[in-house]
Amino acid sequence: MTDYLKEFNTILRDLDYSKNTVTKFSDFLSLSAYSLAQPFYNSKEIEEKYKDVSKNYSLPQLEKFAHLIAIVTLALEEKMQDFLGQIFMSNDMGSGYKGQFFTPYHVSKLMSEMVGYNVKVDLENKEIITLSEPCCGSGGMVIAFADSMKESGYNYQKNLFVEAIDIDDLCYKMTYIQLALLGIPARVIKGNTITMDFQEVLYTPMFFINNIAGKLSERTKENLGNITTNQLNLFKI
């Protein structure tokens, strides 16, 4: 079995010795998140954000970033997991002063299974269930919940909508990338849940592909701002 964690960290370390690990990881997240979002937004703003990061690297280095997102994709295809959260913690990017210590995935999975009995009841009454994660970290709790749904025979790509929020830019982008690659319909928000100060939001591809907006109740649509898929841009809250 391929050690994707080791492979990712090796490429990340060797990618550019003039930059520290946090900077390279942050740039990887930006390039990946905006690449995944752009086909569904066709946004000049997203394109410019991508260019602002990519101009700091050579073409061979950008190819290594592409290799990194391929590794993440393969790791998530092998099994549902919080892969980017493991990368984050293995490189000590949380640091004690920031207090970022992510819940191990097996604990997240146990917690999701403890509340999973509600899924059957909820889906008997409506086509889609919603999940709110106000401090999402790297998205591990959301992934674990979707994993439990899948094991119980439910299609989370069609029957789940997630709102995930985090104040930290790295967490915001880690969550978006992993939920996007796993096909979890979600809106991922960068901002402060307590003060309701939000800066940026991106909807994952499966939100568009499976017409999740059309499946939500009228009340939820109001919370989405009655935005149609044709109107969605890099939505500023």
pTM for this predicted structure: 0.88
Q: Would you say residue 187 has pLDDT above 90?
A: yes
Predicted pLDDT of residue 230: 38
Sign of CA dihedral 81, 83, 85, 90: positive
* DSSP label of 165: E
Q: What is the pLDDT of residue 101?
A: 67
- Supply φ then ψ for residue 27, to 5 degrees: -65, -40
Residue 153, phi then psi, degrees to nearest 5 = 95, 15
Average pLDDT over residues 147-157: 91
- DSSP H helical segments within 1-139, as ranges? 4-15, 21-41, 44-54, 59-78, 83-90, 95-98, 105-115, 117-125
Residue 93 has what pLDDT? 83
The C-alpha atoms of residue 30 and residue 144 are separated, in whole angstroms, by 24
pLDDT band at 235 (very low <50, low <70, confident <90, very high): very low
Contact 2, 74 (CB under 8 A): yes
Distances (CA, A) of 116 to 60, 102, 130: 45, 21, 13
- Say what the pLDDT of residue 124 is: 78
Mean pLDDT for the chain overall: 86
**pLDDT score of 35:** 97
Domains belonging to the chain, first-starting first, are 4-98 (no CATH), 105-223 (3.40.50)
| Chain segment 82-122, per-residue pLDDT in tens | 999 999 988 888 765 456 667 777 787 777 777 655 677 77
Give dist(CA 195, CA 177) in Å, integer: 25
Dihedral through CA 19, CA 22, CA 35, CA 216, nearest 10?
A: -170
pLDDT bin (cut points 50, 70, 90) of residue 62 is very high
pLDDT average, residue stretch 44-49: 95
User: What percent of the chain has pLDDT above 70?
Assistant: 86
**214 or 14: which leads in pLDDT:** 14
Beta strands, E only, the chain: 129-133, 160-166, 186-192, 197-203
In angstroms, the CA 129 to CA 114 distance is: 17
Which of the pair, 10 or 96, is modelled with greater confidence?
Answer: 10
Statement: residue 139 has pLDDT above 60: yes
Encoded amino acid at 159, one letter: N
